[in-house]
Structure 1
C-alpha cells in the first residue's frame, strides 16, 4: 500500500528552505540589493522542485483515490453480475409449465372394439353400434362411424346432424360409446339387400374394423334410407330418434 506525505508538511518544508536561501543571498550582497546570483538560482530551483514534488504527491494521492473508486466500482459491478439469476420460469427460463391437460388422442380400430346389436323387434329397422375402449389409456371418439354396408355402394352411410353431441366423447379404459344406425324403413322392399357383415372406420384413423351383422340371417339395408348417428355416451330420446 502506498504512503503519501501530507501536503501541508511538504509545503511548510519547502517554504522554510526557500526563506533560508533568500536570507543567505541577501547577507552576501554588499550593496543591500538582492542578488540574482547562484544562491537565487538555487533557491528558485529548490522551490520548483518542491512545488513539483508537492504536485506529484497530490497527483499520486488523487490517482490513488480514483483507483480506489474504480476498484470499488468494478467490485460492485462484479457482484451485480455474479448475483444474477441463471434460470427462471416461463419463456425466460424455458422451464414454464402449462396448466391445462393434454387432449386425449383419437381412438383407432386398434384400441377400440366395435360390435353391432339389433334395436327393437321386427322389422329390425335399426341397429346400435357399440365402441368399447380396450386399451389402458383414454381416447377420443370423433364424429360418427364411417360405415360401408355394400360393395356396390362404396360411399359411407350419411350422418344425422341432430344427433351430434355438444362436447367430444372421451372414453376412459373400458368405457363404451354408442351410435344408432337406421337400415331401412322396414318391410319387404326390392331395394333392400341382405348384409351379414360390414366395415366401420373411425374418423381420424386409417384402420378398418370388420363388424358381424347381428342375427343368423343378417340385416336388410336400403341405400336410399340408411343413416347413422354420431358417437355418444348413451342413446338419447329425440336426438337419436330418426
Structure 2
C-alpha cells in the first residue's frame, strides 16, 4: 500500500511537472509567434518605407525632366540671344548704311603737334558739330601750299577696317607727316592749310599749330586715314 501510494504521488508530481513544462512551452510558443508577427510587420513596413523612396526617385526623374526643360529653355534663351545679337548686327548695318556722310558743315577740324621737336607730325582731330551721327570715310584731302595743288598722299596701311562713325562724343583722328625732320630738307612755313572731306568739295580752313606755324616738305608729306584712335600703330609713318 505504501508503495502504490508512493508511486501515485510520484506520478502526480511528474504530471504536474509535465503540465508546467507544457505550459512553459506554450508560453514560449506564444512568445515566438508574437515575435514572428513583429518581425513580419517590420519586413512589411520596409516596402511601405520604400514607397516614399520610389516617390523621391520619381521626383528625381521630375527634376531631371526639369533640368531638361531648363536646358531647353537655356537653348531657347541662347537662340533668343543669338536672334538679339543678329538683330543688333542688322541694326548696326542699317545704321551704318543709313548714316549720312559727314560734310564740311557737320565737322570742325583742328590741328595739333604730335611728339616733340623737330615736329615732323601733326594730328588732325575731327569733331561733330551736329546733333546726329555721320560717316567720316577715307582720309583728309590736304593741301598745304598754294604752290602745290596736289593732295597729300595717303598711307594705305592706316586705313581702318570700317568707316568711322562720328558722334558728338567720339571724335576721329588722322596723323599727318610734315617732313623727315632733316636740316637740308626743302621745308616751307605754313600757317594755315586746307582740308576737304570725302564726298564734299567744300574747303575747310585749318590753322596750323604753334606760334610760328609748321614747316612742311611737300615731297615728304603724307597723311593717314581717319581713325577712331589717336594713333593705332598702323599710322606710324
Q: Deviations over 1:191-219 (max 9, x none)?
A: 11000000000010121110000000110
- Structure 1, unmatched stretches of 5+, are 1-97
- 2 CA distance for matches of 1:168 and 1:238? 18
User: Is contact 2:175–2:231 with CA below 8 Å preserved after alignment?
Assistant: no
2:191 aligned residue = 196
Partner residue, 2:132: 137
Q: Secondary structure at the match of 1:115?
A: strand
Of the candidates 110, 116, 124, which is equivalent to residue 121 of structure 1?
Answer: 116
Could you give the per-residue CA deviations for residues 169-228 of structure 1, whole angstroms, max 9, x where no partner exists?
Answer: 001224210000000001323511000000000010121110000000110000111000
- Contact 1:146/1:156 (<8 A) preserved: yes
* Aligned with 1:231 (options 226, 230, 236): 226
Question: Residue 173 and residue 238 in structure 1: after superposition, are their counterparts in 2 closer, same or farther (change >3 A)?
Answer: closer
Secondary structure in 2 aligned to 1:106? coil
CA shift digits 1:119-172 (9 cap, x unpaired): 011000000000001100100001000000000100000000000000110012
The question of whether the paired residues in 2 share the 8 Å contact of 1:120 and 1:126 is answered with yes
> Counterpart of 2:148?
153
On the 8 A contact 1:159/1:227 being kept in 2, the answer is: yes
Q: How does 1:216-227 map to 2 (within 5 A)?
A: 216-227=211-222
Q: CA RMSD in A?
A: 1.6
Q: What SS is found at the alignment partner of 2:157?
A: helix
Q: Does the aligned pair in 2 maintain the 1:179–1:231 contact within 8 Å?
A: yes
Instruction: Please state if 1:168 is matched with 2:157.
Output: no
Aligned length: 145
1:241 aligns with 2:211: no
Contact 1:141–1:169 (8 Å) recurs in 2: yes
Bigger share in helix: 2
Residues 178 and 235 of structure 1 are in contact (CA less than 8 Å); yes or no, is this contact kept in structure 2?
yes
What is the distance in 2 between the residues matched to 1:149 and 1:230?
17
Deviations 1:99-121 (CA, angstroms, capped at 9, x unpaired): 74452101011010000000011
Distance 1:106 1:201 in 2: 13
Superposition deviation, residue 239 in structure 1: 0.2
TM-score, normalised on structure 1?
Answer: 0.57
C-alpha separation in 2, matches of 1:189 and 1:151: 22
